[in-house]
Amino acid sequence: MHRLIFGVALLLLIVFLSPVNSLAQMSVTEAATETPVTLPDPLTPEAVRELVSRLSDAEVRALLLQRLDAVAAEAEDAARDGGLVDFAQKATIGIIDSVRDAFSRLPLIWETQSHSLSTFWERVGSEGLWIMAAVLIGGVVGGLAAEWVFGRATRRWHAPSATGGPETLGQSLRFLLGRFVAEILGVVVFFYVARWVGMQIGFGLFSDRPVIHKLGGYLGLIWINLIVIPRFAAAFSRFLLAPYKPEFRMVHADDATARLIHRNWIGLVLLVSFNSALFTFTTFNGVGLGEARLGFWLNLAMHLYIILIALWAKDGLVRMMRGSDPDLTATEERVARAYPWFIIGVSVGTWWLVELIVAYGRFDLLRTNPHFWMMVVLIVGPLMDMMVRGLVRHLVPPMTGEGALAEKAYHATKRSYIRIGRVLVFAAVIVVITWIWPVDFHDIAGGGIGVLLAARLIEILMILAVGYLLWEVFSLWVNRKLAAEVTAAATDATEEEPGGGEGGGAGATRLSTVLPLLLGVAKVAFAVIFGLIALGQIGIDITPLLAGAGIVGLAIGFGAQKLVTDVVSGIFFLVDDAFRVGEFVDVEGTVGTVEKISVRSMQLRHHKGPVHTIPYGEIPKLTNYSRDWVIMKLKFTVPFETDPNKVKKLFKQIGKEMMEVPEFAADLLQPFKSQGVFDFDDVGMIIRGKFMAKPGRQFVLRKEIYNRVKRAFEENGIPFARREVRVALPEGTAPSDLTEEQKAAITAAAADTTRKEDPPPGAS
């Protein structure tokens, strides 16, 4: 019975507890001296029962105690090293204690470095120093000679143009990239030749000296940290800043700023490389990194140097961040002004991060200076944004068409390109930072420094970046299509009085009407989809969210049937192409130009200003006055004695003349012509003319036709018929013979006749 109890307990522990390392298996129990128990593989319940049946009570008890001790140790470590409280203590009190410790160990710096140098002297002696100097000098001379030959052979890679300066962006990039590649390859050639020459000198001339085998590590420190890395950094700086070639410079910086940053960048890399070499040198010679806290002071010196550079070049850095793009937004201007302080903040934050790592005792994370390279990436990142804006100016397609709408679409396309570039830069910064640090963020969270959100933070950011990138690409496509559609339709929404102030308009194309609506729907879809993916990556089960969304949607469908009716009706109206943005329509007596459409309703702008919002579900019938073509008929009243054929010829001549004017010919589909005598009234003959035009242009053409008809009638002696009141006097009676009462009666009768024949105001 007791064996079964112990077997069940052991099985539960094995299933629910993580395995421990081999040291935990050798616990300090009475079973420590016995033969260790080997667990079966695979560890199945049957195998566990078989194992327990073969073990003695003491062995089972010992194995159980080992497991319990291991679990207790893990819990104690997690309580000591994990949790937000412990992290907060390490980030505040731990860093303060670390700084105090560095100050307390300050007197030990000279002692430890003296010990390191003494150990080095004991290992190599004066003979080793002479051999090292010979190897370095010989290697440098040989490497420089080989690099000079290589530079002569590759000079054509970065030869400037015949005019002495670049004419295009491509020429600048070709020169800078050619020079950068040539410099990098030249340094590589220098390193390998110098190393080969040094080995030939060391192992050829001094092969019989035992000390030669002790110098390899020290020579590697000098070659890599003090020669190769600074030269790589200088090549990168010359590519980015072109301090002595301002005509090829890719960043918007003056000569003084470019040269100041270039010199201090090389000095900064030298300082960091010297720090790394010194750390490795002291470790080689038996001095621990934490004995005198020399790294604290060297790291502090580096950050103070960065802060000084940011203050020295503050104005130049602001100009550099502004760039040469005149279309600078207010946010970009604020970012440019804050950039020097951003550099200072990054430097202070990196120093804090290093001290936090020291407080945790993870000195191994700092051996390759990942904090420095992370800081460089964060500082250069905003400059990449400035370069993206500069490249977009040259790479964005030219503006399609003319007018305010085309210009608006061009600027929207340009901003989309910039935002896409920013997302790519952001993703590159995240990827490089995760590559720089020699640590798995999942392990950090599992070790207690972070939580699940911190462990998944990089993945979440990348997911959101991909979603935003897809959204920007879709927006870019929509903006370009809108610009093309607006240009093809030849419409201008900024026209002072669309339709000549009479409420007409040709309207936009079908695609330009639907695309803005589709863009809004896509924005919501992208946000929901990638938001749910990010939540799932954190560890939140999104299945209940999806089920809840379905239930909520069903409830909305039942509770808001009118809303559903509006949405469905709008879909069918758009499918039927019943109206488009910019068209002049009549909805059951409500007239206006379609100004905006949404998922549920449309907005009509009356030509006098009012805006009518009409849900799609309330539209029983819609009349569109802006589709394809418009025929306008004009009436002119002339005296009875006018010759209709003469008027017909004049109308035909006016139509012919207008068709010869490009401004009018583009809008006239059929010329203006006479339709003959339409009617008679008590004033004269009514002669009608007509023309066919593009929608929205008929009112402008009507004004021009009225002006030309009036001028033609005046030139040909044809008056317009006027309403008259004639008074017949008795034969032989002169007007002067009328009394005042008679004159007043005649005037009143004429006024009464006019009132009866004229329609009241507002009547049609």
Which stretch of 384-388, 505-509, 638-642 has the lowest confidence by average pLDDT? 505-509
Strand partners, 623: 586
Alpha helices in 313-440 (DSSP H): 314-322, 330-359, 370-395, 404-436
Q: Rounded to a whole number, what is the largest CA-CA distance in the chain?
A: 158
pLDDT digits (tens, 9 = 90+) for 13-63: 333 333 333 323 333 333 333 445 566 655 566 666 666 666 666 666 666
Determine the average pLDDT of the residues in 707-719.
87
Split at pLDDT 50, 70, 90, the class of 340 is: very high
Q: What is the CATH number of the domain that holds 709?
A: 3.30.70.100
**What pLDDT is stored for residue 725 in this prediction?**
65
Closest CA to 24 of 69, 62, 56: 69
Q: Are 474 and 519 in contact (CB under 8 A)?
A: yes
- Which of the given ranges, 24-28, 455-459, 648-652, 743-747, has the highest pLDDT on average? 648-652
What does the block give as tokens for 196? 């080969």
For residue 365, pLDDT beyond 80: no
> What is the C-alpha separation between 103 and 122, in angstroms, rounded?
30
> What is the C-alpha separation between 435 and 575, in angstroms, rounded?
51
For residue 342, pLDDT beyond 90: yes
Q: What end-to-end distance do the CA atoms of the chain give, in Å? A: 109
> What is the C-alpha separation between 500 and 702, in angstroms, rounded?
10
DSSP 156-201: GGGPPPTTSS-SSHHHHHHHHHHHHHHHHHHHHHHHHHHHHHHHHI
Residue 385 or 752, more confident: 385
Enclosing H/E stretch for 594: strand 590-597
**What pLDDT is stored for residue 415 in this prediction?**
77
For residue 710, pLDDT beyond 50: yes
**Percent residues over pLDDT 90 in the chain:** 6
Is 233 within the bounds of a domain?
A: no
**What pLDDT is stored for residue 7 in this prediction?**
41
Q: Count CB atoms within 10 A of the CB of residue 66.
A: 22
- Domain with 68 in it: 2-81
**What pLDDT is stored for residue 37 in this prediction?**
56
Tokens 């409830």 belong to residue: 555
Mean pLDDT of all residues belonging to the chain: 74
Q: Count CB atoms within 10 A of the CB of residue 266.
A: 16
Q: What is the dihedral of CA 107, 109, 115, 119, to 10 degrees?
A: 180
Residue 15 or 207, more confident: 207
Residue 180 or 440, more confident: 180
pLDDT digits (tens, 9 = 90+) for 717-742: 888 887 766 666 666 666 666 677 76
**What pLDDT is stored for residue 9 in this prediction?**
37
Is 548 within the bounds of a domain?
A: no
**What pLDDT is stored for residue 304 in this prediction?**
92
Is 57 within the bounds of a domain?
A: yes
**What pLDDT is stored for residue 347 in this prediction?**
92
**What pLDDT is stored for residue 343 in this prediction?**
93
Residue 637 phi, psi (nearest 5) = -100, 120
3-state secondary structure of 669: strand
What is the tally of structural domains in the chain? 2
Which stretch of 128-132, 404-408, 711-715 has the lowest confidence by average pLDDT? 404-408
Q: Which of the listed residues 81, 106, 132 is the one where a domain comes to its end?
A: 81
Cα atoms in the Cβ-side hemisphere of radius 13 Å centred on 747: 7
Is 370 within the bounds of a domain?
A: no
Determine the average pLDDT of the residues in 627-654.
85
Split at pLDDT 50, 70, 90, the class of 361 is: confident
**What pLDDT is stored for residue 745 in this prediction?**
72
**What pLDDT is stored for residue 493 in this prediction?**
46
Is 18 within the bounds of a domain?
A: yes
pLDDT digits (tens, 9 = 90+) for 181-198: 989 999 999 999 988 888
**What pLDDT is stored for residue 110 in this prediction?**
82
Split at pLDDT 50, 70, 90, the class of 532 is: confident
What does the block give as tokens for 290? 């934490």
601's CB contacts (< 8 A; 6+ apart) are 566, 570, 613, 614, 615, 616
Q: Count CB atoms within 10 A of the CB of residue 631.
A: 11
What does the block give as tokens for 45? 């319940």
Residues found in the chain: 764
For residue 95, pLDDT beyond 60: yes
Q: Are 397 and 413 in contact (CB under 8 A)?
A: yes
Q: Are 425 and 388 in contact (CB under 8 A)?
A: yes
Exposed / middle / buried, residue 455 (Cβ in 10 Å: 0-12, 13-18, 19+): buried
Split at pLDDT 50, 70, 90, the class of 455 is: low
Determine the average pLDDT of the residues in 531-554.
67
For residue 501, pLDDT beyond 60: no
**What pLDDT is stored for residue 189 in this prediction?**
92
**What pLDDT is stored for residue 308 in this prediction?**
92
**What pLDDT is stored for residue 727 in this prediction?**
67
Strand partners, 760: none
For residue 98, pLDDT beyond 60: yes
Is 349 within the bounds of a domain?
A: no
For residue 494, pLDDT beyond 50: no
**What pLDDT is stored for residue 154 in this prediction?**
82
Q: Which of the listed residues 81, 112, 136 is the one where a domain comes to its end?
A: 81
**What pLDDT is stored for residue 509 in this prediction?**
61
Split at pLDDT 50, 70, 90, the class of 346 is: very high
**What pLDDT is stored for residue 728 in this prediction?**
67
Q: Which of the listed residues 58, 81, 104 is the one where a domain comes to its end?
A: 81
Q: CA of 139: how far to CAs of 145, 146, 196, 389, 426, in Å?
A: 10, 10, 7, 44, 41
Is 611 within the bounds of a domain?
A: no
Exposed / middle / buried, residue 733 (Cβ in 10 Å: 0-12, 13-18, 19+): exposed
Split at pLDDT 50, 70, 90, the class of 761 is: very low
For residue 408, pLDDT beyond 80: no
Angle at 701 between CA 700 and CA 707, to 5 degrees: 100
> What is the C-alpha separation between 760 and 39, in angstroms, rounded?
108
Split at pLDDT 50, 70, 90, the class of 487 is: low
**What pLDDT is stored for residue 507 in this prediction?**
54
SS (H, E, C) 394-429: HHCCCCCCCCHHHHHHHHHHHHHHHHHHHHHHHHHH
Which stretch of 265-274, 470-479, 703-712 has the lowest confidence by average pLDDT? 470-479
Q: What is the pTM of this model?
A: 0.58
Is 64 within the bounds of a domain?
A: yes
Residue 207 or 486, more confident: 207
3-state secondary structure of 593: strand
What does the block give as tokens for 534? 């990010």
3-state secondary structure of 691: strand
Q: CA of 458: how far to CAs of 302, 357, 432, in Å?
A: 28, 19, 11
Cα 246 → chain centroid: 29
**What pLDDT is stored for residue 338 in this prediction?**
92
Q: Are 287 and 328 in contact (CB under 8 A)?
A: no
